[in-house]
Amino acid sequence: MPGKSLSITVRLALLFAGVALLTFAAVGAYLYQALAQQLERRDDEELIGKITLVRHLLLEVQSIDAIERSPHPFLDAVFGHEGLVLRLVGPGGQILVQSAESSRPLPPVDMVPAGRDPAEADVRYWHPVTGTGRLVGAIGSIGGSVQVPVRIIVARESSDRSALLQEYGRNLFLAVCIGAVLAAALGFLIVRLAMRPLRSVIGKANDISTHRLNTRLSVHDTPTELRELGAAFNAMLDRLEDGVQRLSRFAADLAHDLRTPINTLMVETQVALSRPRENDEYQTLLVSNIEEYERLARMIENTLFLARADNAQLAVSRETLSVKTELERIRDYFEGLAEEAGVTLAVEAHDTSVSADPILFQRAVSNLVSNAIQHTPRGGLVRLSANAYPQSLEITVENSGPQIPPEHVPHIFDRYYRADAARSASSRSAGLGLAIVRAIMHLHGGEVTVRSVIGESTTFYLRFGAQRL
């Protein structure tokens, strides 16, 4: 079983700790290096100062013998400096003065000429037993009438400043660790405090249920970062509430629509079985039952179609269709129904083509034609036409029936919506016909709209986009 994931608060606190650790470490490394360079420069200045001092002492000596008889002034020059080695070497290579033995033999070093003062660039590294040392060499001259050159070597094995640097490094490391821990703790507290509005939003969201979908999050008193999230959540609740309401209406409408044919089947069957009847009567009953079964089948099929369209389970098999041929075929199919209703069907279309699924194309147009015939008074006209444009094709179904009330126009393509709230036993659908038309157009990347003008006509527009051939 996978471990429980860390909360956002803990993650941000750890992130703060990591950032603080990196920042403190970078600053500490910079300060450590800066201090190390400064201490090294002071050590080098001290070595150069000792060279200058010994040169002055040599000028006060008259001979090499005087140095050997009285080396104390030179030894005093380095007295009290632990790890500092002074060596004076005569012209013949003999060691005149040496303050202490070095842990390792001093390496050869270039001598600064007597006429030039030593500089930091003349200081060299060397390697004693422990750590890293520094040394410098220069030529000094003995005073008197004959100036005898003497080689001066000053080396440092260790420095009190090095010990100071080590102590500083340990304290710095400890400070970095403590700073990272404090940053994590403070970051945790700050983030926890900052997350309080989010926890409030979560608490309000937990209070929302299917019975309380009208509850909304307050976005005015929330931080800017959560305001957009709250607005999106409220918009989602609006859609959910609308969907639940429409679904509730649909459930009521569908239950009513299903109850009507089922009650008809039950009553007719009970009446038929109440006493023995002739074969013709039973045959008439079966014919009536078939009509009710077909009605139930249409309701179920329409509902399943929309469900598959919602979940992208419908495959659109496009073909190049002749619009005029398809519209004429639909007109011929509804011609009998139109004659019975006293309505004239007319087709006005040029020979143009469209890329569409033939079955879905016919179903969309047929739903509009069937709807138009039902709402056109006797003697009226239902006109099917097609108009080609550079980037689209428009198919219109126009009827001279009564105007659709303006308040219903924005909703007539909604599923389960009926402009007429009254129910009748003759209702043949659950208000899904126009919703199916819109779903088919969306599957083809097009759209369906309606225009209804009082005293003129009602026109439905099917617009197919750039896929038209």
121 secondary structure, DSSP code: G
The amino acid occupying position 300 is: I
Do 71 and 16 lie in a common domain?
Answer: yes
Say what the pTM is. 0.48
Place of tokens 């709807």: 371
Q: Name the burial class of residue 388, with classes exposed (0-12), middle (13-18) and buried (19+) by CB atoms within 10 angstroms of its CB.
A: middle
Do 326 and 270 lie in a common domain?
Answer: no
Convert the pLDDT of each residue in 111-151 to its tens digit.
999 888 999 889 988 888 777 788 999 998 887 666 788 99
> Does the pLDDT of residue 396 top 90, yes or no?
yes
Convert the pLDDT of each residue in 76-86 to its tens digit.
888 877 778 89
Q: Which domain holds residue 295?
A: 224-304
Residue among 220, 219, 217, 221 nearest 208 (CA):
217
> Does the pLDDT of residue 275 top 90, yes or no?
no
**End-to-end CA, the chain:** 56
Residue environment code for 22-43, b if the CB has 16+ CB neighbours within 10 A, otherwise e: eebbeebeeeeeebeeebbeeb
Sign of the alpha-carbon dihedral angle for 299, 300, 304, 307: positive
Query: Domain of 458: which CATH number?
Result: 3.30.565.10
Select from 139, 166, 193 the last residue of a domain. 166
Both structure tokens of 39: 């201490």
- Mean pLDDT, residues 302-330: 79
The pLDDT value recorded for residue 126 is 83
> Does the pLDDT of residue 59 top 80, yes or no?
yes
Which of 48-57, 150-159, 218-227 shows the lowest per-residue confidence on average (mean pLDDT)? 218-227
- Would residue 180 count as lying in a domain? no
What confidence category does residue 422 fall into, taking pLDDT thresholds of 50, 70 and 90?
very low
- Would residue 442 count as lying in a domain? yes
Place of tokens 């924005």: 410
Do 272 and 346 lie in a common domain?
Answer: no
Residue 20: its H or E element: helix 8-59
Q: How far is CA 350 from CA 80, 383, 394, 431, in A?
A: 114, 14, 12, 32
Place of tokens 């040169």: 55
Q: Say if strands 319-322 and 344-349 run parallel, antiparallel, or are unpaired.
A: unpaired
Both structure tokens of 121: 């660039």
- Mean pLDDT, residues 407-412: 82
Select from 119, 134, 166 the last residue of a domain. 166
Convert the pLDDT of each residue in 424-435 to its tens digit.
444 455 567 888
- Would residue 280 count as lying in a domain? yes
- Mean pLDDT, residues 429-451: 83
Select from 166, 185, 209 the last residue of a domain. 166
How many domains, the chain?
3
- Mean pLDDT, residues 184-188: 82
Question: Concatenated DSSP letters for 147-195?
Answer: --EEEEEEEES--HHHHHHHHHHHHHHHHHHHHHHHHHHHHHHHHHHHT
Do 13 and 161 lie in a common domain?
Answer: yes
- Mean pLDDT, residues 46-64: 88
Mean pLDDT (the chain) is: 81
Q: Compute the radius of gyration of the chain from its Cα atoms.
A: 51
- Would residue 1 count as lying in a domain? no
Cα of 457 vs its chain's centroid, Å: 50
The pLDDT value recorded for residue 81 is 75
- Mean pLDDT, residues 178-198: 80
What confidence category does residue 69 fall into, taking pLDDT thresholds of 50, 70 and 90?
confident
Do 346 and 272 lie in a common domain?
Answer: no
Query: Cα–Cα–Cα angle for 183, 186, 190, nearest 5°?
Result: 130
Do 277 and 329 lie in a common domain?
Answer: no
Do 39 and 71 lie in a common domain?
Answer: yes
The pLDDT value recorded for residue 4 is 59
Do 23 and 154 lie in a common domain?
Answer: yes
Between CA 407 and CA 427 the distance in angstroms is: 22
Between CA 289 and CA 295 the distance in angstroms is: 10
Do 373 and 439 lie in a common domain?
Answer: yes
Do 377 and 439 lie in a common domain?
Answer: yes
- Mean pLDDT, residues 88-95: 88
Do 283 and 357 lie in a common domain?
Answer: no
- Would residue 17 count as lying in a domain? yes
Q: How far is CA 385 from CA 339, 345, 444, in A?
A: 20, 11, 19
Place of tokens 């509902």: 303
- Would residue 94 count as lying in a domain? yes
The pLDDT value recorded for residue 291 is 79
Q: How far is CA 227 from CA 78, 163, 217, 221, 224, in A?
A: 74, 57, 10, 9, 5
- Would residue 179 count as lying in a domain? no
Between CA 93 and CA 28 the distance in angstroms is: 47
Do 77 and 111 lie in a common domain?
Answer: yes
- Would residue 118 count as lying in a domain? yes
Which residues make Cβ contacts (< 8 Å) with residue 24, sequence separation at least 6? 175, 176, 179, 180
